[in-house]
Structure 1
Amino acid sequence: MKVTYIERSPGTWRLRIESGVGPDGRRLFKYETLRGTLDDVRRRRFAILNEHDQGTFAEPSKLTFGSFFTQWFDTRLALKKITRSTAENYDKMLRYYLGTIAGRRLQRITAQDIQAIYTAMAKRGDLSQNTLHHVHAIVGAAFRAARRAKIIKVNVMEEIEAPAKQRARPRSLTEAQAAKLLASLEGSWMEPVGVTSTSTAPASMSAASWCSA
């Protein structure tokens, strides 16, 4: 990698980053504008080269979160990693919940931006904790993909605590269901446990107790 710079106007610098050679044999360049002193631009040049050596450099990109998110789930759909209905749900998620960051550059999104989305969703009052947790999981997967592709150098999702999952309420068995379950346990080591549970439980028996038995 080669990084050069030139002062375009007093205090405004343009860095040219040579990042390789394209399929046609031509050199590939990315450009970055910086406002500051000569020392500032020299430090930035050093930082770019250092990040490149460490494998953490992400070339400047104007790619928005919305564009990347759509490309990401379209690719997953093409590779049959997800179904079409799942891809449609991702598209709805982008439009309904992630609109505030959809048009922003992916490289400029912060943990605070994501946290603001979670806060707004929680304040709505009509969304479950599971919905919030699902959004967190999908957005996290998208940012991990962006980091692997070296579009971003830091995954901001690693700075965010996952929203709590909503605990499932235990379902109760009817008397008929309990009787059927006991019949299936007859003669097994679980039969005494089943008899004790059904004899001490009210008219219905919690399915959760069987999970813990």
Structure 2
Amino acid sequence: MAAERSHGSWYLRLELGTGPDGRRRRVRRGGFPTRKAALEALVRLRGPAGSPLTVAEWLQRWLDNRQGAPSTVTGYADHVRRYLSPLLGHLLLAEVAVAHVEEMFQVIAREHQEAGRRLSAATLDRIRATR
């Protein structure tokens, strides 16, 4: 019996316009199991008007629709206000990479050290869990 051939992975591409250097910016993401999954991801990367969202815009929409224990939502809002929006908010959601997140954690650690404040691994884990 012959194995059924699958399509493989679906990809999306989002045109972001020209950057400060005058070059075109594009985002390409892959590995989606279906066309529908790729289209859903593309919709999430765009705002209501179809234009790309910044991380700050996306985080605000996420917080506005967040449900759960009040203390948990308050903690998320605090992480967004103190760390995520100031350090990542200016980026387009489609352009966020692992390197940006790693740099954010380095900045957080450096700021705490310079201020003489202790930064626990648990705090970093809670910030990381805010998504």
Q: Please tell me the residue identity of whatever aligns with 1:96.
A: R
Structure 1 residue 114 displacement after superposition: 0.4
For 1:56, the equivalent position in structure 2 comes to 38
Alignment of 1:33-112 (within 5 A): 33=17, 53=35, 55-57=37-39, 58-59=42-43, 61-77=51-67, 82-98=68-84, 99-112=86-99
103, 128, 131: which one aligns with 1:136:
128
Deviations for 1:5-37, whole angstroms, at most 9, x for unmatched residues?
A: xxxxxxxxxxxxxxxxxxxxxxxxx9764788x
**Bigger RCO of structures 1 and 2 (CA < 8 A, at least 6 apart):** 2
Q: How many residue pairs were aligned?
A: 95
CA distance in 2, matches of 1:136, 1:107: 18
CA distance in 1, matches of 2:90, 2:123: 22
TM-score, normalized by length of structure 2? 0.56
Alignment of 1:149-168 (within 5 A): none
- Structure 1 segments of 4 or more deviating over 3 A? 30-36, 51-55
Q: Please tell me the residue identity of whatever aligns with 1:137.
A: A
The secondary structure found in structure 1 opposite 2:58 is: helix
Identity of aligned residues (%): 21
Q: Please tell me the residue identity of whatever aligns with 1:135.
A: I
TM-score, normalized by length of structure 1? 0.37
The secondary structure found in structure 2 opposite 1:66 is: helix
Q: Please tell me the residue identity of whatever aligns with 1:134.
A: R
Structure 1 residue 122 displacement after superposition: 2.3
Q: Is the 8 A contact 1:62 1:105 kept in 2?
A: yes
| Bigger shift: residues 120-129 or 104-113 | 120-129
For 1:147, the equivalent position in structure 2 comes to none
Structure 1 residue 86 displacement after superposition: 2.2
Q: Please tell me the residue identity of whatever aligns with 2:105.
A: Y
CA distance in 2, matches of 1:122, 1:31: 34
CA distance in 1, matches of 2:108, 2:81: 13
CA distance in 2, matches of 1:31, 1:137: 29
RMSD of the alignment, in Å?
Answer: 3.3
Q: Are residues 55 and 130 of structure 1, via their aligned partners in 2, closer, same or farther at CA, if it must alter by over 3 Å?
A: same
CA distance in 2, matches of 1:117, 1:84: 26
Q: Which has the larger radius of gyration?
A: 1
Q: Are residues 100 and 54 of structure 1, via their aligned partners in 2, closer, same or farther at CA, if it must alter by over 3 Å?
A: same
Q: Are residues 108 and 133 of structure 1, via their aligned partners in 2, closer, same or farther at CA, if it must alter by over 3 Å?
A: same
